[in-house]
Amino acid sequence: MITLAARNVLLKPSHRRQLMAWLKRSVRLGRRLGNFALTITIRRSGQCYEARADVRAVAGDFTCRTRGRDVLPACRDLAHTLSRLLHQQRLQLTGG
C-alpha cells in the first residue's frame, strides 16, 4: 500500500504518474517481502524540497530521506534509494 502526502507542495497529475512509475520496482520488491506499507511525504522548506519515505515490511521498518532544489529530482533520488534499500532487505531475508 502506498500513501502519498504532499504537504505544502502542489504536484501535477503528470508528476504523480511519473513518481508512481519510478516506484514500480520498490512496490514489487515490497510485495515480495510481505506486509508492505509505504508512506511518502513531500514538503518544501525554504528553497529545498524534502522527500521522505517511511517503509514498513516484514523484514523491518526504515526511513529514507532525500533533499533537492527541485521536486522531481528529489523524488527520483528517493525512488532509487528506496529500491536499493528494499533490495538489500530482500537479500538479507532470503539469506543470499
Architecture of domain 2-94: 2-Layer Sandwich (3.30)
**Domain ranges, ordered by start, for the chain:** 2-94
Strand partners, 65: 52
What pLDDT digit, counting tens, does each position of 23-33 carry?
Answer: 999 999 999 98
Q: Taking the model in full, what pTM does it have?
A: 0.89
- 2, 40 in Cβ contact below 8 A? yes
CA angle 12–6–58, rounded 5-degree value: 120
Q: What is the mean pLDDT of residues 69-75?
A: 94
Question: Residue 65: how many CA atoms within 13 Å on its side-chain side?
Answer: 5
Cell of 37: 506499507
Tell how far CA 65 is from the center of its chain.
9
Q: What is the mean pLDDT of residues 60-73?
A: 94
